[in-house]
Amino acid sequence: MFSKILIANRGEIACRVIKTARRMGIKTVAVYSDADRDALHVEMADEAVHIGPAAAAESYLIPEKIIAACKETGAEAVHPGYGFLSERASFPEMLAREGIVFIGPNPRAITAMGDKIESKKFANEAKVSTVPGYLGVIESPDQAVEIAEDIGYPVMIKASAGGGGKGMRIAWNAEEARDGYTRSKSEAASSFGDDRVFIEKFIENPRHIEIQVLGDKHGNAIYLGERECSIQRRNQKVIEEAPSPLLDEATRAKMGEQAVALAKAVDYDSAGTVEFVAGQDKSFYFLEMNTRLQVEHPVTELITGIDLVEQMIRVAAGEKLEIEQKDVKLNGWAVESRIYAEDPYRNFLPSIGRLVRYAPPEESTSDGVTVRNDTGVVEGSEISMFYDPMIAKLITHAPTRDEVIDAMSEALDAFYVDGIQHNVPFLTALMNHPRWRSGQLATGFIAEEYPDGFFPSHPDEAATGVLAAVALSMGALNRERLDHLPGRLRPHSGAIRENWVVKVDKTYVPVRLAAGYPGTPVEIDVAIGDGPVTTVESDWAPGQALWNGSVGGRPVVVQVRPVLGGYRLDWQGFSVIAKVMTPRMAELDALMPEKLPPDTSKMLLCPMPGLVVSIAVEEGQEVKAGEQLAIVEAMKMENVLRAERDCTVSAIKAKAGDSLAVDAVIMEFS
């Protein structure tokens, strides 16, 4: 077994590998760029080596710098994590020449399976069912259109060396095929250093199901069940679960055996994933093989009890698999939610900045429910524009699918992040979506259920009542404490007011304090409107970020942020402003005029912090609705900004190469 390994990666996956290595008694070496000098993985590792500037192309993507770090520290092996150099066949070859072990598959397997074009050719030769497509190198947009029309729309244009949803576009017509080819090629070059793309038929209403395989250097290979990864946005996975609610035992075995046959054909000797596109009728086609550890591997670990990182390390050290296929048992259900630095209310555009508050739910195992948080940040960490926007992966495990979804919903309610925008509200709303809970999934789920994007939804009457009760418990406690502060002119000495009004956004909710005295811990009886008396209990104290308690016996965790005159409450995907008032104050408040936001309809604003790649128009130019105005790049993704209506460009305020803040004016219209 190795005594020291180097992790050629950053963020949560580097931290994840360090945890297992530490448990195995193996020392670790981290590498870091200028942007990651104070990162968590650097702090966790036994040693750390600086490898260059912030841009990945000048640091994490340079094999020579990784090898030099190994020599400097005496690391015997390298774990690549995922992304970066993990699927570049030349990397393990370079390591081997230096006598350093690659903790991953052999280069031949990476070449055969890691490249999306070559893997499809190999799968065809191995008689594995594949999606119809063109596997050759495409030289021009016109050729892309010709191929797409020959296959038949819709088609998927994909980067050959791609991953993480980058370099992927769906085209429904010739114009989209031409534009998708150009964008995919550009994103592929900037993200992977390889601009090759291919085209395949896009299966409508499909599901994305993948099989986890594990092989060793002695010819053994097994599969560890499947993962359902159909909840995607822009081809990037958002929520994963294991097992899949679609598969039965027979289909699972069929997919697993096919995945193992493919792995054995290339002498696969590590953890890897065979991905399939599946129809709602349980038909399936080979999509690609990822010759690395997957982002979503924790859900497989929780339902099988197998540490995949440990198995990768043991296999790389030459050990035989101690697990046989008959030993693999799937226990319970697991769900993973990816916490991203992106604004769900601005079409999920990237958000960068410092984590002013970062308080994830505590990792625990209790009453058959496990909560796990794989992260690479701490409070005070900075989310940089140079890398993937993932903050953390929140994973829950429970005996049944309903129970694990409930556990995830509660854990997301308790995931407190401030300083940047993030997708926790969206994930929480998804957990309570009827279609998700029913298991009727498809890769188009988010586009179908949120066709106009995700917007804050107003809570229904029941949820409004819960939030009003929570707000009253806090507001009454705050008032009681303020009334008795030393030096107050007239501290009250009478009974607590019985009748209150809680303004939840624009709804005025009458609330009666029926019994109890606001204090810590809180235990009061309230009546919402004309409803029955409900008991509210909590140990919340002023200043705490989470209100953790129960309303009418229902467990409730609400995120609390103070605002002028009240609180912002986040719960179950709802975000409301709640203000506790006397009835007379509520009457007067209802008469207050509403302040409207400024009119920005004649401006193109930068939707997120990013780099202006190009400006497609000139001052004085007339543009039609849908025409391209500019391209802004953020976190390796190019975002095309288009005209929302016919107009004339009156002024251009930015140029290619400018770094813009969110809401910076790019151009004005008349």
- Predicted local confidence at residue 519, as pLDDT: 78
Residue 538 pLDDT exceeds 70:
yes
Spatial distance between the Cα atoms of 405 and 571, rounded to a whole number of angstroms: 15
- Predicted local confidence at residue 540, as pLDDT: 94
**Residue range(s) in the chain whose domain bears CATH number 3.30.1490.20:** 132-201
Segment 37-42 shows an average pLDDT of 96
Q: Which of the residues are catalytic?
A: 288
Segment 318-338 shows an average pLDDT of 97
pLDDT higher at 216 or 165: 216
- Predicted local confidence at residue 636, as pLDDT: 65
Residue 474 pLDDT exceeds 90:
yes
- Predicted local confidence at residue 492, as pLDDT: 64
- Predicted local confidence at residue 124, as pLDDT: 77
Q: Show the tokens assigned to 627.
A: 């025409």
Contacts of 458 (CB under 8 A, 6+ apart): 464, 505, 507, 574, 576
Residue 493 pLDDT exceeds 70:
no
- Predicted local confidence at residue 163, as pLDDT: 67
Contacts of 142 (CB under 8 A, 6+ apart): 178
Q: Show the tokens assigned to 12.
A: 């949560």
Residue 13 pLDDT exceeds 90:
yes
pLDDT band (50, 70, 90) for residue 489 = low
116-120, 259-263, 338-342 — which is least confidently predicted? 116-120
- Predicted local confidence at residue 225, as pLDDT: 97
Angstrom CA distances, 493 to 293, 480, 483, 485, stand at 65, 10, 9, 13
Contact yes or no for 73/46 (Cβ under 8 A): no
Cβ neighbour number for residue 395 with a 10 Å cutoff:
27
Q: In whole numbers, what is the pLDDT of the chain averaged over residues?
A: 92
CATH number of 132-201: 3.30.1490.20
Contact yes or no for 209/227 (Cβ under 8 A): yes
pLDDT higher at 303 or 451: 303
Residue 122 pLDDT exceeds 80:
no
At 427 the three-state DSSP class reads helix
pLDDT by residue (tens digit) across 398-435? 999 999 999 999 999 999 999 999 999 999 999 999 99
Cβ neighbour number for residue 386 with a 10 Å cutoff:
19
Could you tell me the pTM of the whole model?
A: 0.83
CA nearest neighbour of 418 among 457, 387, 383:
383
**Residue range(s) in the chain whose domain bears CATH number 3.30.470.20:** 207-331, 339-449
Q: Show the tokens assigned to 270.
A: 């590590």
CA nearest neighbour of 296 among 374, 188, 193, 205:
374
Q: Dihedral sign, CA of 490, 494, 498, 499? A: negative
CATH number of 603-669: 2.40.50.100
pLDDT by residue (tens digit) across 556-612? 999 999 999 999 999 998 999 999 999 999 999 999 998 888 888 899 999 888 889
Residue ranges in 432-460 assigned as alpha helix (H): 434-438, 445-449
Residue 209 pLDDT exceeds 90:
yes
Top-level CATH class of 461-589?
Answer: alpha beta
pLDDT by residue (tens digit) across 143-197? 999 999 998 898 999 888 766 677 889 999 999 999 999 999 988 888 788 888 8
pLDDT band (50, 70, 90) for residue 121 = confident
- Predicted local confidence at residue 494, as pLDDT: 66
**Residue range(s) in the chain whose domain bears CATH number 3.40.50.20:** 4-103
Q: Tell me which CATH homologous superfamily contains domain 207-331.
A: ATP-grasp fold, B domain (3.30.470.20)
Top-level CATH class of 4-103?
Answer: alpha beta
Report the CATH architecture of 339-449: 2-Layer Sandwich (3.30)
How many secondary structure helices (H) and strands (E) does the chain include? 17, 40
Cβ neighbour number for residue 205 with a 10 Å cutoff:
11
- Predicted local confidence at residue 205, as pLDDT: 87
- Predicted local confidence at residue 479, as pLDDT: 82
**Residue range(s) in the chain whose domain bears CATH number 2.40.50.100:** 603-669
